[in-house]
Structure 1
Amino acid sequence: MATPTTNTPATSAGAAGGNVINAVSGLPRLRAGELQNQVLAVLASRTGVALDVGDIAGVLVGRSSGAIGQACDRLVGRGHAELLPSSPKQYRITPAGLREHRANPTLIPPAPQGSTARPASAARPAAPAPRPAAATSPTQPVAATARPTMPAAPARKKPTTGPVRRPNGQLYYPRLLAKRPDVDVLRDLREADVPVLLYGPPGTGKTSLIEAAFGTDLYTVPGDGDTTVGDIVGDYVPTDSGGYEFVPGPLPRAMESGGVLFIDDATLIQPKVLAVVYPAMDGRRQIILKAAAGRVVTAAPGFYVVAGHNPGVHGAVLTEALSSRFSTQVKVSSDYDLAAALGVDLRMVRAARNLATQHDSGEIGWAPQLRELLAFKRITDVLGIDTAIANLIGLAPVEDREVVHKAVCKTFARAKIQPLALGNQL
């Protein structure tokens, strides 16, 4: 096929004028997965030819090589590209990737005005292109110029309808947030670079929502009291040869790829450890990897941070420094109507609602959330309802177990049921 050129018309969302323009690069800020689609389009235009990251970057002018490399690796993980045994690394589209591109074609966006692009596999230019002859000399009077036009307002995207498939294959059922589907709101907040903090009891669906909204663009930091700076920025790991090599953590990988960093249970991480993320979130948009010879990592367009917070968990502290960096904070509670719609026994849904009311009033510290209710249904299907009831009662903390036991047994008109436990030897 013919080598792509920068004159190709752009019809993809990433090339359209509706995207937020990055003030540094002057390029549209790409939506989740959009760079992968553009890289796939470049590979598809050279079917059977191996391209390295530099070749692809020569076509997608202005996109960082780090972000393009991450996109290539993700295409390999999806089976849409293959990694060839060469140095530098080269990639080639697979039949599956070609089918994906033909089913969802994405055209290669034109290079920004004034930039110099090179075709894939062509030699790199020796020097930047000279300025246009019409450029104003410092010694010449500056002529009046027309006021620059503002970017067009983004067109309203079609709202999400129906369930959204998460990366693990499970379905997420969107809920209303600001009178719109929650996944759409989170995606819009990402485009506007407004960090969001989701808070609520464990099991209410915070992680599910984030995975549904951002898909494979997600890099996760699992937070707890033992999380270290190395868990976030990367650390040295032993190699097969007996030495050590630095492996970047989720923060620099998300920054270089323009992905989403999800800090799960952020308030369980020690504040001095979590502070390593702050320079990436403010105007600097950079971090310094001291363990990697002081390498500076700059956030690519699309980089975004979202966090989760469980207020009732022991040790969870929402510091002022953390709270102030998340302009949007959204409470997430269990959707008991969804639990009923998914087939959870209505009596258990009713008992869970009653316990949730007591929890909200401060009478008890635990109530079954959506996660426990879905587990209740699965156990009922396999082992029967009495076993499912016994298991749910056993999930309650000791200090709340009596109240939970009374509420559940009353709703199901059952006598005293012991928490699920092993019996006598057979």
Structure 2
Amino acid sequence: MAQVLAANPAAMFTVTELARMLGYSGGAVGNACETLAGRGEAERIGSKPRMYRATPATSTAAQRASGPPPAPSPKPSVPHQSAGPAAAASPPGGRPEPITRPNGQRYHPRALAQLPDVEALRRLREAQVPVLLYGPPGTGKTSLIEAAFPDLITVAGDGDTTVGDLIGEYTQDANGGYEFVYGPLVTAMQEGRALLLDDATLISPKVLAALYPAMDGRRQIQVKAHKGETITAADGFYVIAGHNPGVHGAVLTEALASRFSVQIQVGSDYDLAAALKINRKAVRIARHLANSQQAGEVGWAPQLRELIAFQKIADVLGTEAAFANLVGIAPLKDRDTVAEIVTKAVGRPVTALALGRQL
């Protein structure tokens, strides 16, 4: 991808044009282009359609690639691989480099099917195999998806999510009239982007049913509220979902589960927490509670999100306050058990963080 852009520095290319030139799928090319753009090694112009052109850094990226640009062909020579930089997840040393998410935080890839997880998800997208990630909140499901798909559109699901929230609805304009504004599902379909249904199992099954025709062989939906318009998904459109089994009201229906051929359990990587230089006692406490949770002795354990927050609190208010907060954020039914475990690990009584006497 970088070689094509660098060889034509004054030109702009759509994803479809690049896919046709290189012989790869639109999804793979779109991923690669977004990765280049995220690194500053290409510039994205517009959104309908997305177009890309070279930047001063593109030639450097092109030089890193081995050999001349691939010749056009009707099918990629290795169909299961993503094209270009999106597939370059593992450097020569074998350890994948961290990936910068849209919020600026760095995601450290984990192993999945003997691949870095971001590469595995990109391959599944290219093969159009929908994925459901499930596990406790704070384990990194959304972080992984954001790292894998720079072109991501996210729908935060809850019990109040409506069909209009997904597909679109009429909205009053500045002149007092009404215009139809497409929702995230239609936008993702039209632009060939990845769509994350975060907390998908909190969304009503009747609402999710509006999505299913876009996920099957039809890859189409009908917008009944907008003159019965038919929307057909562009190359690259992909649906991925997140599910928190322990959250009240989260129900994985058979209809939803059957749409996601791959279902991946996501737990906290406590080794990563240690590598991020989070307080060792806090990490040991989290491991202990996680083991106790698996044994049914306690219902809650700190996940990576809580451990990252622990270190930030410790840096600002001190370690003692961070341990007290760790006790305080535990569910009420588990708080005494958590306090007992934290107290034993720290060597002094620890109770929930609370205000003291007037100063």
The equivalent of 2:357 in structure 1 is: 424
C-alpha separation between the residues in 2 aligned to 1:334 and 1:42? 34
| 1:289-339, Cα deviation, whole Å (9 max, x unpaired) | 122222211100111010000001111100000000000000000000000
Do residues 15 (structure 1) and 21 (structure 2) align?
Answer: yes
Do residues 202 (structure 1) and 137 (structure 2) align?
Answer: yes
Q: Choose the corresponding residue for 2:245, options 308, 311, 316.
A: 311
C-alpha separation between the residues in 2 aligned to 1:392 and 1:260? 35
Q: Choose the corresponding residue for 2:222, options 278, 288, 298.
A: 288
State whether residues 89 and 97 of structure 2, in contact with CA within 8 Å, keep that contact through their aligned partners in structure 1: no
Following superposition, the deviation at residue 220 of structure 1 comes to: 0.6
Do residues 185 (structure 1) and 120 (structure 2) align?
Answer: yes
The equivalent of 1:63 in structure 2 is: none
Q: Aligned pair count?
A: 334
Unaligned runs of 5+ in 2: 1-7, 82-86, 91-95
| 3-state SS of paired residue (1:261) | strand
C-alpha separation between the residues in 2 aligned to 1:379 and 1:189? 38
Following superposition, the deviation at residue 363 of structure 1 comes to: 2.2
State whether residues 355 and 367 of structure 1, in contact with CA within 8 Å, keep that contact through their aligned partners in structure 2: yes
State whether residues 31 and 191 of structure 1, in contact with CA within 8 Å, keep that contact through their aligned partners in structure 2: no
Do residues 164 (structure 1) and 99 (structure 2) align?
Answer: yes
State whether residues 14 and 31 of structure 1, in contact with CA within 8 Å, keep that contact through their aligned partners in structure 2: no
Identity percentage over the alignment?
54
Do residues 69 (structure 1) and 57 (structure 2) align?
Answer: no
C-alpha separation between the residues in 2 aligned to 1:352 and 1:203? 13
Q: Give the TM-score, by structure 1 length.
A: 0.70
Query: What pairs with 1:69-218 in structure 2 (closer than 5 Å)?
Result: 69-71=48-50, 98-99=55-56, 104=61, 152-154=77-79, 157-160=87-90, 161-215=96-150, 217-218=151-152
Query: What pairs with 1:200-349 in structure 2 (closer than 5 Å)?
Result: 200-215=135-150, 217-349=151-283
What is the RMSD computed on CA atoms of the aligned residues? 3.5
Unaligned runs of 5+ in 1: 21-26, 45-50, 54-67, 76-92, 113-148
The equivalent of 1:128 in structure 2 is: none
Following superposition, the deviation at residue 36 of structure 1 comes to: 9.9
Do residues 364 (structure 1) and 289 (structure 2) align?
Answer: no
Q: 2:56 is aligned with what amino acid? A: R
C-alpha separation between the residues in 2 aligned to 1:324 and 1:409? 45
State whether residues 223 and 266 of structure 1, in contact with CA within 8 Å, keep that contact through their aligned partners in structure 2: yes
C-alpha separation between the residues in 2 aligned to 1:273 and 1:331? 25
CA pair 206-5 structure 1, distance change in 2 beyond 3 A: closer
C-alpha separation between the residues in 2 aligned to 1:150 and 1:293? 37
Q: Which runs of 4+ in 1 moved over 4 A?
A: 1-6, 10-14, 35-38, 40-44, 100-112
CA pair 329-28 structure 1, distance change in 2 beyond 3 A: closer
C-alpha separation between the residues in 1 aligned to 2:80 and 2:17? 14
| 3-state SS of paired residue (1:357) | helix
Q: 2:357 is aligned with what amino acid? A: N
Q: Give the TM-score, by structure 2 length.
A: 0.83
| 3-state SS of paired residue (2:302) | coil
CA pair 423-246 structure 1, distance change in 2 beyond 3 A: farther
C-alpha separation between the residues in 2 aligned to 1:41 and 1:344? 33
Following superposition, the deviation at residue 362 of structure 1 comes to: 2.3
C-alpha separation between the residues in 2 aligned to 1:3 and 1:338? 43
| 1:75-123, Cα deviation, whole Å (9 max, x unpaired) | 7xxxxxxxxxxxxxxxxx8xxx7435555569999999xxxxxxxxxxx
Q: 2:122 is aligned with what amino acid? A: R
Following superposition, the deviation at residue 200 of structure 1 comes to: 0.3
C-alpha separation between the residues in 1 aligned to 2:190 and 2:116? 29
| 1:258-317, Cα deviation, whole Å (9 max, x unpaired) | 100000000011111111110100011001112222221110011101000000111110
CA pair 246-346 structure 1, distance change in 2 beyond 3 A: same
C-alpha separation between the residues in 2 aligned to 1:155 and 1:274? 29
